[in-house]
Amino acid sequence: MNRVWLVENGDVFGGYGLRAVAGSRSEAVAAFWRGYVSASARWNKGAQGCVTLEEFAQVWGLTIAELEMGRAYLGVPDSPEEFEA
């Protein structure tokens, strides 16, 4: 079974959202944070909105989920309803 980790927030950046996928939880979280830091400076005209990942999670919320490749998920990934595609 191949599994991937998804880290996302669908509300940030005016509803455009941000998500990262990686082979491990730590890689996905790190990729999400790198993406946020980069996009936040541009979105907020040079100022980063949240200074830490913990602050981001408190302000915006954060979904972190381990998903199996080849499966479909309906609903939010932190409590997905799994079904066969």
Whether 84 shows a pLDDT value over 50: the answer reads no
Q: What's the whole-model pTM score?
A: 0.82
Give the pLDDT of residue 73: 80
- For residues 33 and 7, is the Cβ–Cβ distance under 8 A? no
Give the percent of the chain with pLDDT over 90: 65
Whether 80 shows a pLDDT value over 80: the answer reads no
- For residues 17 and 30, is the Cβ–Cβ distance under 8 A? no
- C-alpha distance across the termini of the chain, in Å: 16
As a whole number, mean pLDDT of residues 20-35 equals 96
CB within 8 Å of 74: residues ≥ 6 apart: 80, 81, 82, 83
Q: In the structure encoding, which two tokens stand for residue 67, read together?
A: 């998903």
Give the pLDDT of residue 44: 83
Interatomic CA distance for residues 8 and 77, integer angstroms? 9
As a whole number, mean pLDDT of residues 46-52 equals 83
